[in-house]
């Protein structure tokens, strides 16, 4: 069976945070595309979440630590487990979508790796 990534990536289910995901036992890779402006969109995970900005601009708001900053291409952001970030997409549009990559790593896997490093 042939998998057409480009066709799947271009399929739009939602205009804000359209998500394409690939799962394994210990991690999930997701690509988020946003095709219209949106504000105060929540994002959280029960695991560590690494986000890398690929295209466009987001404004990230983490209320628990008074963090309110632009998130631009080539920048990254790590979200702690069970922490929520609220995201604004001021410039997103169909011709110029905002694109972000997120890698969610299970807490169990990170704990296992940390224990092995401590030995």
Q: Report the C-alpha gap between 109 and 37 in whole angstroms.
A: 35
Domain count, the chain: 1
CATH number, domain containing residue 43:
2.60.120.10
Q: Report the C-alpha gap between 28 and 36 in whole angstroms.
A: 25
Read off the DSSP letter of residue 56: S
The length of the chain is: 119
Q: Note down pLDDT in tens along the chain; length 119 residues.
A: 444 555 555 678 888 889 999 999 999 999 999 999 999 999 999 999 999 999 999 999 987 788 889 999 999 999 999 999 999 999 999 999 999 999 999 999 989 999 999 88
For residue 61, the enclosing domain spans: 5-118
Q: Is the whole model's pTM more than 0.75, yes or no?
A: yes
């Amino acid at each position: 069976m042939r998998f057409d990534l480009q066709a799947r990536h271009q399929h739009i289910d939602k205009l804000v945070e359209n998500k394409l995901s690939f799962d394994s036992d210990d991690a999930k890779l997701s690509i988020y595309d946003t095709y219209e402006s949106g504000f105060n969109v929540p994002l959280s995970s029960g695991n560590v979440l690494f986000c890398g900005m690929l295209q466009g601009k987001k404004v990230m708001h983490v209320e628990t630590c008074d963090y309110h900053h632009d998130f631009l291409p080539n920048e990254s952001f790590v979200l702690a487990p069970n922490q929520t970030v609220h995201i604004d997409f001021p410039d997103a549009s169909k011709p110029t979508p905002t694109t972000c990559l997120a890698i969610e790593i299970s807490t169990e896997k990170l704990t296992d790796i940390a224990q092995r490093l401590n030995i």
